[in-house]
Amino acid sequence: MKARHATLPGLALLPALLVSSPICAEAANLSKAINDSTVNLHFRYRLEHVEQDNALKDALASTLRSRLTLATGKAYGFSGLLEVDNVSVLGGETFNSTVHGNSHYSVVADPKGTDINQAALKYQLSADTSFTLGRQRINHLNQRFLGGVGWRQNEQTFDGYRLQHAFTPTIKLDLARLHNVNRVFGPKGPAANQRGEFTTGLLSWQLSPTQQLAAYGYDLDFNDWAVRSSLTYGLDYQGKWALGEQQSLSLQLAAARQQDRHDAPLSYQHHYHRLQLSWQQHSLQVIAGTERLAGDGSSAFQTPLATLHAFQGFADLFLVTPNDGLRDQWLGLRHPAGPVQLALNYHRYRSDTDGRRYGSEWNLTASYRFSAQLQGLLKLADYQASSLAVDNRKVWLMLSYSI
């Protein structure tokens, strides 16, 4: 006689009920967020040498930046980002990092230490709208007014909240309210942070696949740096046209106005403009441009939150615009030499008020990609002084590796 097994009514439907239950749906969402998470490691070693024609000793900085980035997947519209940086000095501290007190050496602004570079929570309200809260990287356009200063080992990031919205696929808005700037001089030291109330806005319109128009505004109210409190607004246009087979012409045209704001100690109104033309045929690129930051002898147009190393030459002589203003004209060439990418630039600097010659500068970069993970860079800057600062020569050798 065969044994009979009792079956409860509806027992066969139990697996389907479990799968469709709210608890299992939540577990599935969390599981997907975990599976979609990524962990990345990036190492950047740099040897920087600075030689100036003054009483300071030549600087030699051997530093390694190690970066760990954890980005979670999305669950219920939320996702998280955590990025931790460590800057270590390999060898002696024969440079002025602006923190450790070696003021008898030339400056290499790469202080050692460990810092949280980014720590942010993002909520995707819809396909067109997102809200980000916390410490984050913000790069606007070419980073002339707002950027991360990614060249330095300790990056510039911002604490606050940010709203990004796409009205249409071609018209997008980026608004932020920030209360602290984590500067490249951190994580410790008197200049590591700049606190205040900062409102930034960028409205971009993709006119066509090769034409973009943008309007921007920056209201900066510094707590302890009132001389940089200001209101800046302007327009930026970028376009590209095909001239023939593998030949094109690109144009950037930007203009802005800046005035004193909040507790700024001086009253002023200054203007800015930038014009750059780029002609490319096959792998050869020729670039010519001019940029003006107006000054009146008492104050000048300033961009304190910009990625300044990308402008006015690699020697970084114009991180602060002289009170007489600045006019920069440049000519550049880009062309590969086999697998090595070469770029050469020449800058001529003059004052805005009377056209007095500040100096001139040559810049050279050579980059080579050993593999998808490893890249090398050699970079040179040679500034020849006329009436501003002293002759200045810098050399960098850098290796970047990603996992």
Q: What SS3 string covers 77-126?
A: CEEEEEEEEEEEECCCCECECCCCCCCCECECCCCCEEEEEEEEEEEECC
State the sign of the Cα–Cα–Cα–Cα dihedral 299, 258, 321, 136.
positive
Res 188: pLDDT: 87
What single-letter DSSP state applies at residue 379? Answer: E
Provide mean pLDDT across the span 123-138. 97
**Does the pLDDT at position 10 exceed 50?**
no
Confidence of residue 101 (pLDDT cuts 50, 70, 90): confident
CA 81 to chain CA centroid, nearest Å: 17
**Does the pLDDT at position 135 exceed 70?**
yes
**Does the pLDDT at position 8 exceed 50?**
no
Inter-residue long-range contacts of 343-348, CB under 8 Å, 24+ positions, other chains counted: 345/287, 345/313, 347/312, 347/313
Res 25: pLDDT: 67
Share of the chain above pLDDT 70, in %: 94
Confidence of residue 6 (pLDDT cuts 50, 70, 90): very low
Cβ density class 312-328: b for 16+ within 10 Å, e for less: bbbbbbbeebbebbbbb
Res 21: pLDDT: 65
**Does the pLDDT at position 2 exceed 60?**
no
Kindly write down the DSSP assignment for every residue of 20-57, as one continuous string.
HSHHHHHHHHHHHHHHT-EEEEEEEEEEEEEEESSSSB
Look at residue 16 and give its three-state secondary structure. Answer: helix
Question: What is the rounded CA–CA span in Å between residue 220 and residue 177?
Answer: 10
> Where is average pLDDT lowest: 34-38, 128-132, 302-306?
34-38
Q: What are phi and psi of 331, to 5 degrees?
A: -140, 135
Question: What is the rounded CA–CA span in Å between residue 314 and residue 293?
Answer: 18
Q: What is the mean pLDDT of the chain?
A: 94
Q: Which residue has the higher pLDDT, 124 or 7?
A: 124
* Stated pTM of the model: 0.91
